[in-house]
Chain A
Amino acid sequence: MLMFVLRRLAHAVAVMLVVALVAFTLFQYVGDPVVGLVGQDTGEKEREELREELGLNDPVVLQFARFVYRAAQADFGISYRQKRPVTELFVKRIPATLELSLMSALFALFVGIPLGVHSGLHRRSWTAKLAQSTALVGISLPPFLVGILLIYLFAVVLGVLPSSGRGDTVQIGPWSTGLLTLSGLKSLILPTITLGLFQMTLIMRLVRAEMLEVLRSDYIKFARARGLPDRAVHYRHALKNSLVPVITITGLQLGSIIAFAIITETVFQWPGMGFLFIQAVAAVDIPVMAAYLVLVALLFVLINMVVDVLYYVIDPRLRVQAAPGGRAHG
């Protein structure tokens, strides 16, 4: 078990380093940091001094090491566009994104899994077919379209929900939350559905496919041959076995919710990391882009690790060694 965790940790560090490398390359070769930091009428000599100060003339390896060191302390320099420390910009916005992502993830899971199980178990019922059609539509609509549609329907036509922003938030230490105010909650509804819909349909289809696959296996047949009632067969045997592969995929999907938040935040003008990132891309604001990259990578890696450990805990085949021999001829 320890070996397993250590290996995953090493893997995580490796990934982070690669990401850091990519971010660093961005800094080095895309655009000129000096140009981004100074005005147009700064003299050549001053630019040279700035270069020296920023350590841009040092060997690349040294610069990379410095970059990693600073990144580990969450120091990404100054935003080109806003001329303020990148970290400061992020700290304000992380809670917004994380809160939204979490709510969407919960939405996707708590709606997707039951629907998937239901349509897997009762393939031919009309509810299952309805759920499937909805899923199909759900996957076909680009997330931003869903957002626009919802805004139009609920904000413009019906006028019951806000079309942008977070509403009133409450500050708890470094974290600002919208869950504790009515306007905050109302603001969360549409973005959550928008962000979660795509993921929900994916989860639903996945769970359904897994259930169908498992229901054809020999041990299910054997369980029925022993007279076990459908309820036990479905929930005790089939469900448990279906969920194992679903967990890994779901974990990855949850990670991607954070990235998909970019779109949702843009549509709803949600003051989160994603919105910041988009603005940075449009303005080629490298420090912000790099910081976002590293931060998101970190989140992904953490989520992946948790998922791996979960997988390990649930599937006994990974924990205990198999017995050898005795297999068939041929």
Chain B
Amino acid sequence: MDANELLRIDKLRVEFPSRRGTFVAVDALDLDVARGEIHGLVGESGAGKSTVGNAIMGLLEPPGRITGGEIRLNGKRIDAMDAAAMRMLRGRKVGMIFQDPLTSLNPLLTVEQQLVETMMLHLQVDHAAASRQAVELLDQVGIPRPGERVKQYPHQFSGGMRQRVVIALALCSNPDLIIADEPTTALDVSIQSQILDLIKSLCRERSLGVILITHDIGVIAETTDRVAVMYRARVVERGATAKVLHAPEHEYTRALISAVPRPDVRLHRFPVVSYIEDGGEARGPIDISGHWLGRFDASERHRGELARIEGVSMNFTLRRSMFPSRRTFFTAVDDVSFQVGAGEVFGLVGESGSGKSTVARIIAGIHHPSAGRLLYAGTDLTAQRLAGARRSHQRHIQMIFQDPFSSLNPRMRVRNIIAEPMLFHRLVASRAEASEVVDDLLEHVGLGREAGVKFPHEFSGGQRQRISIARALATRPRLLICDEPTSALDVSIQAQILNLLKDLQQELELTMLFISHDLPVIRQMCDRVGVMQNGKLLEVAPTEQLFEQPQHAHTRELMRLMPRLHALAPPQAVGASA
């Protein structure tokens, strides 16, 4: 055994028995981590990576249990230890960081109290000494004015700062090994890189071993020394990060890396990842000339500018009051103007809170702007709030939402969800015709007509987004707004959905407004892009121009924060179709 080796896992097997049979979460897993090394564990959801972390800590949710293999820490077996011994191990030898800093900290205790209690438990120091060390620790994790802030409550820290506190808490008892389970997923991109840098420097300084669990290949590329790729409870490939990412051997790894959107070059389509199941059925392209979706009259064919917003602002009331002077507002959108041409894909990019989603909702008609105009095909839609004219134009603007789990009514069957818009707007002559069109749409989004009788919960996230797309198409829209449609999906599924959107946009001659925080995705999808920050539109440019020569400082900052993925293998077609 290598003297530097900290953790060794051999053939680990974790099972979750249930009424319906035993679910194997982790199978025959081998892993080893050395001091001073950051080892990545990457995979999509359901692969079992979090379970590995929980198993090492002895924190498996019942009825889960370890049914095979060994876990050794510094040579000693820890998987078979009793509860009391395991408890001593936690915190003292192995620390864990969870994903959401908001819920990881007890809201009723100050940071100092939470730090001190942990330190007094593990380090045998008295209260005064623990308090001093707490302040030092906060300083080491990069929290300004630590002496002051140590006495504050968790909710007084912003997200990034809170995660630093969580890291401090995990480190305060000087463990040898840290398990970080998606530590940056809940944070903004700019903060994400800071936290990752912090983890890297702490790892080197203290000679810690770190297991970094994530689904994000970009994070792996920038932070880890070695990586193990998990798929369906097994490790399919392992090795030095540079090698695995650049020259992957296993088919799944190759497929996974191909599906990652590249920031440096625009592809025509994402290579389809058919190794991974649930890839949607094969679909034929829609021939618009004969299809129901192509049945629009001359007034609906547009050339040139299709939609335009002028000087639009949106204020949300934070605090209502009878006295106007005491009301406080939050300006989500501040004097934004841009236009979208017929047939083009316009992207809006920005971090959270930049206002891009609000702009989308204003255009879609969910919010009425506090100021400004929205013109569609020359008609001012903001002037007529609920009038019939707005209604008839409204149906031409449809939207696809971000969260596949809340964007479909759980109590309605899929076919009713899709049929509802066309029946409401009387776009079909009868229920029978609606039924036919629904079946057809389901085929065209890659779900197949049998999907109609089922309920949303019977489908996975990617499939639900397909249903949402079908629903959005059911009013024969001309302008399709996509609000972060793939942010909640695994990378491989994202590629499929984005391909579908691209295909539909071309086949149906749709105009699209594509909202995202993910720059590489924007680069792949859009013709022109607008950058937003704090409610203001900073610059608008054609995609290639924006990426090659960003003008505004914030845009340049966002470009700088994009993950460097040159290390990755170039995208290639994997599997049957290309």
Contact = CB atoms under 8 A, between A and B. Distances in A.
B496 to A, nearest CB: 19
Contact of A225 (B57, B121, B158): B57
Interface in B268-288: none
Contact of B161 (A221, A232, A326): A326
A329 B402 CA distance: 11
Interface string A171-202: 00000000000000000000000000000000
Contact of A325 (B91, B353, B484): B353
Contact of A315 (B108, B122, B402, B487): B108
Contact of B173 (A219, A227, A323, A326): A227
A219 B104 contact: yes
Identify the interface centre among A221, A225, A314, A323: most chain B CB within 10 Å of its CB. A225
A222 interface: yes
A22 to B, nearest CB: 25
B392 interface: no
A317 B153 contact: yes
A119 B87 CA distance: 23
A328 interface: yes
B269 to A, nearest CB: 24
Contact of A229 (B87, B189, B351): B87
Contact of B353 (A219, A223, A321, A327): A327
B117 A227 contact: no
Contacts of B105: 219, 222
Given A217-B103, A236-B117, A322-B156, A225 B108 contact: no
Given A317-B153, A317-B155, A326 B188 contact: yes
Interface in B60-81: none
Contacts of A241: 106-108
B95 A225 contact: yes
A327 B117 CA distance: 28
Contacts of B91: 225-228
Contacts, number: 121
A226 B174 CA distance: 11
A219 B106 contact: yes
Interface residues of B, number: 51
Interface string A276-303: 0000000000000000000000000000
Nearest to B354: A329
Contacts of A228: 91, 117-118, 121
Nearest to B84: A229
B495 interface: no
A78 to B, nearest CB: 42
Contact of A218 (B103, B160, B187, B189): B103
A329 B189 contact: yes
Contacts of B162: 326
A218 to B, nearest CB: 4
B16 interface: no
B108 A244 contact: yes
A8 interface: no
Contacts of A229: 87, 121
A59 interface: no
Nearest to B488: A330
Given A218-B98, A221-B98, A227-B173, A325 B104 contact: no
Contacts of B96: 222, 225
A320 interface: yes
A324 interface: yes
B262 interface: no
B100 interface: yes
A325 B162 CA distance: 11
B480 interface: no
B187 A222 contact: no
B157 interface: yes
A224 interface: yes
B352 A329 contact: yes
A327 B90 contact: no
A122 interface: no
Contact of A323 (B59, B89, B109, B156): B156
Interface in B411-453: none
B151 to A, nearest CB: 11
A240 interface: yes
Contact of B59 (A217, A225, A236): A225
Interface string A229-272: 10010001100110010000000000000000000000000000
A316 interface: yes
B97 to A, nearest CB: 9
A237 B517 CA distance: 37
B157 A330 contact: no
Contacts of B517: 329-330
A222 B108 contact: no
Nearest to A241: B108
A279 to B, nearest CB: 45
A28 B88 CA distance: 73
Given A222-B166, A228-B121, A316-B107, A326 B155 contact: no
Contacts of B100: 218
B351 A219 contact: no
Interface string B202-215: 00000000000000
A326 B153 contact: no
Interface of B: 57, 59, 87-92, 95-96, 98, 100, 103-109, 117-118, 121-122, 152-153, 155-162, 166, 169-170, 173, 185-189, 191, 351-353, 402, 484, 487-488, 517
Among all A-B residue pairs, the 3 with the closest Cβ atoms: A227-B91, A326-B159, A326-B158
Interface of A: 217-219, 221-229, 232, 236-237, 240-241, 244, 314-317, 320-330
Given A219-B103, A316-B107, A328-B188, 9 more contacts: A218-B100, A221-B98, A223-B106, A227-B92, A328-B352, A329-B189, A329-B351, A329-B484, A329-B517
29 contacts: A218-B100, A219-B105, A219-B106, A222-B98, A226-B91, A227-B87, A227-B91, A227-B92, A227-B118, A228-B91, A228-B117, A237-B109, A240-B108, A241-B106, A241-B108, A316-B108, A316-B153, A317-B153, A320-B156, A323-B156, A325-B158, A326-B159, A326-B188, A327-B159, A327-B352, A328-B186, A328-B187, A329-B484, A330-B488
